[in-house]
Chains A and B, each alone.
Chain A
């Protein structure tokens, strides 16, 4: 089954018109020596019914937040997705269109991306947003390269040790052969102390990268950090959580020059890690260094308002090796989803969602402490996620996760820095029953562990 429309008699007629005897003759320019003389070693073809049953069987071997209450976060969150997001974004006119290079035939996508850019600006308080990047990890790398280009500084890039370890790893990969060194600022207190940044930042620092809320879920002293960075002329890059902005001050207000985020929480299913949605916004003055596509407003020949791809001279298909980035394909369909999601939430829905995350996460922390499961690892204000240090008598974090699977929970993410720490996220999707059930199930592990040790 290869979705071919032409019948065999049509194929013959077409070959005749071309003047070839067989399909093989069409490949004359492929030297015999490099032609594959056997079938590809891939599994045999499946009908739609066979494929459907195979996929159902394999999908059935995966546990997921539909059958386990999800307390995992660490950069991917189980936020609720309203039905309108799925229904509208799955229209074939969006799904099967290409990048809107032909503006007249792509006003639908272009207008959605223009609205998306506006929504991200409204959300963040930043001046300009692009039409998306792949996801947050490469987004951080793009932001740092943008900052190097803007400042022309080659001193060490400073990044808080509380940034998501995958984002840091991605940055290291991207920068492997470029000049500036990456200096990770250690954060023993679970956040970047402003005095620590003050001691490190110099007139040669291209940028400072801080995530807020950070990987542990804790809030950073962003306003002060951005002031310190900017006093030395370094750009301030803030990684943010879009859903936190229903309550928390946005990167615009906090003084970010470039704001980057994982937009997965805005209408994208967790899908084992992708496709997600990289958000990037910046100050007006930096727009010509911004990577990725931008949609602009203009008029057509009759003076009618319309939308086009703008500032393409930044991009690889025009500038080649001098482009601001190599990015071409971005995450169009997921930008459409995020737009619909944000429009469905509106200011009140966003605020309600943020408040629920905050309240439910604090409620769980309170229950866990009350049940003597452990204590928060670093006493810092947090939003929807916290780093919880398992107390005496509790198994290590990975074992807790393992044992709670049987009880119906995805218990959190074992913290990469300490096997006793569990990173626990609570979104608005979790019910009070699930939260209480989770606290009970986790504390029950302590009881068993204690008994086991005593016997």
Chain B
């Protein structure tokens, strides 16, 4: 179907000199003479297209995407749940979409009331004391929280230089630790896929600033040793950071603060249905325990004496800003709308159903493909094509590509690194039993197909497999006129 699109020409190839779309009529004011050292000779060589060209171009391109609105998208770790349309309508109200970020507080009381309540709700769901909405995405949340930890220890006169990260963690964890100025030390997972306590203990000492844990972890397992883990870290004077990527499994079930986490980030675009926007924007608020609150980024929304809301700028111990202005407000508003729509029972139901759906799909698949830690799972599980690869030369990537042919987005492949030939599957709570069953049938039928068919997949999409090596060896990162 995608092949029937009229054209995949680039904007630059459909451009024709003299064509116009948007026009700005003359102001009638006299021209302003700037010195020629500032002025370019002419306008940049942007493409020139008519409005209908533009509409067809982007409409046709959009049809070359798989998306939640059109396809089941069981991409592990990404929480591809339904993105409610009511949010899109409501965030475009001018009172929310249009305010300037530096307007006086008294002119944005509705906005600040929403953001204040969002801070409060996120702190409550975390079981922690305070929340900063500023970080732009999960990775920036990690960085902000690690900078908070660094400032906290500096304030206490402690010189702690290391951040411990499990080998099953997202790549952002060690990358954030490095940027925050820490040495990143890897902690092994045991055979059960959980934190290897002995290895953790051997690496914990007075140099440890933070232990970053993802719980449930990237294998979809809740680490039942969590109280032991957090106690051991605290005994050595360290802080526990929770990577909140997998919060969709435990909303209203268990709170990170209650199991010993001192700080965490949320991915509002995942758990609270952002949406993902082809790769962003996200929003990565951080919640912290009381002793860390003074170090949170500024500004925060607080209540003033008159019962109104204001932005508190003067916070002397704060790490400062991690970005200009308040934060990714548009994403936060959607998250707030989601929380207000669900309420306490709805939130718990999200996690219950996410875990139910994942376990159901696991049950349908595990007799057909190896699931190394497959006794049960939280919101996602990780299958392995290791045996298939050995016996039939069929890789995780082959399966992923063939699923695309069948109209399903693929699971996350080759992550986490601790599972060979990993296929990480997260159905989310918004999918129906029928969708899961059809997906399982297709998945199982793919496993029975002949290896050649799978090696050549996808067959029915706009393109076949791209040459990624060439794209990196001799990168072509922009169009140039012939």
Contacts and interface: CB of A to CB of B under 8 A. Distances in A.
A109 B65 contact: yes
Contacts of A250: 40, 44
A166 to B, nearest CB: 4
A117 B478 contact: yes
Contact of A105 (B222, B252, B330, B461): B461
Given A2-B342, A40-B252, A40-B347, A310 B475 contact: yes
Given A72-B103, A321-B177, A356 B27 contact: yes
Contacts of B131: none
Interface stretch (A154-162, A230-238, A294-302): A294-302
A64 B99 contact: yes
A95 interface: yes
B281 A29 contact: no
Interface string A264-308: 000001111111100000000001000001111111111011111
Given A29-B224, A91-B59, A346-B21, A301 B476 contact: no
A42 B103 CA distance: 29
Given A104-B458, A177-B182, 18 more contacts: A5-B432, A10-B432, A40-B124, A64-B103, A84-B55, A98-B278, A107-B8, A108-B65, A118-B479, A137-B322, A145-B179, A176-B319, A249-B39, A274-B323, A333-B278, A343-B11, A356-B27, A410-B103
A59 B337 contact: no
A165 B38 CA distance: 24
A149 to B, nearest CB: 11
23 contacts: A2-B350, A27-B355, A44-B344, A63-B99, A88-B58, A97-B278, A102-B409, A137-B322, A164-B324, A170-B323, A174-B143, A271-B99, A273-B101, A275-B136, A297-B471, A297-B479, A302-B463, A306-B462, A326-B142, A331-B279, A332-B281, A347-B42, A358-B32
Contacts of B465: 104, 300-301
Contact of B328 (A94, A275, A358): A275
Interface in B154-180: 170-172, 174-180
Interface stretch (A49-57, A202-210, A370-378): A49-57
A436 to B, nearest CB: 12
Interface in B71-113: 73, 75, 78, 80-84, 86, 88, 90-104, 107-111, 113
Interface centre among A20, A62, A351 (most CB of B within 10 A): A62
Interface string B211-227: 00000000001101011
A196 interface: no
Interface string B106-134: 01111101100100010011010000000
Interface stretch (A123-131, A186-194, A447-455): A123-131
A219 B38 CA distance: 8
A310 to B, nearest CB: 4
A256 interface: no
A276 B340 CA distance: 25
B46 A346 contact: yes
Interface in B28-83: 28-32, 34-35, 37-40, 42-49, 51, 54-55, 57-59, 61-70, 73, 75, 78, 80-83
A360 B27 contact: yes
A177 B110 contact: no
A288 to B, nearest CB: 9
Nearest to A351: B43
Contacts of B19: 346
Contacts of B172: 316-317, 326, 328
A385 interface: no
B147 interface: yes
B287 to A, nearest CB: 13
Interface in A333-353: 333-334, 336, 339-340, 342-353
Interface stretch (B199-207, B356-364, B383-391): B356-364
Nearest to B34: A381
Interface stretch (B234-242, B269-277, B441-449): B269-277
B320 interface: yes
A313 B468 CA distance: 12
Interface string B339-371: 111111111111011011101100110000000
B275 A170 contact: no
Interface stretch (A11-19, A388-396, A437-445): A11-19
A6 interface: yes
